[in-house]
Amino acid sequence: MTFWIRINPQGCVEGSVYASYLDEDSTQGAHAEFVPERPTRLYEAAHGWRHERVDRAEWKRRAEPCLTGDCQHNRAAA
């Protein structure tokens, strides 16, 4: 099982999608799935937003704490 995760400029994972769900299995394809508007994607790409392809083990380690609100990013912001 492979996922694409969406990472904000603070390094916190804000979303994930199955790689098999995408029309285009690429960084651009993943970004387009989260953000349909191209100008917004260009802005985000220039301002530290990232999209990475991860396997299930890495998803559990990196994405799950963020998506459940139990990560160091959320604690730092609190």
- Does 7 contact Zn ion by CB under 5 A? no
Give me 21's structure tokens.
């769900």
8 A C-beta contact, residue 48 and residue 9: yes
Stretch that binds Zn ion, among 9-17, 23-31, 34-42, 53-61 (CB under 5 A): 9-17
CB of 38 to Zn ion, least distance (A): 26
Q: Which of 5, 12, 54, 63 binds Zn ion (CB under 5 A)?
A: 12
The b-or-e profile of 40-69 (16+ CB within 10 A means b, else e) is ebeebeeeebbbbebeeeebeebbebbbee
Instruction: Name the residue nearer to Zn ion (CB basis): 20 or 68.
Output: 68
Hey, what amino acid is at 37?
E
Question: Under rule CB under 5 A, which residues in 23-42 are in contact with Zn ion?
Answer: none
- Interface ranges with Zn ion (CB under 5 A): 12, 66, 71, 73
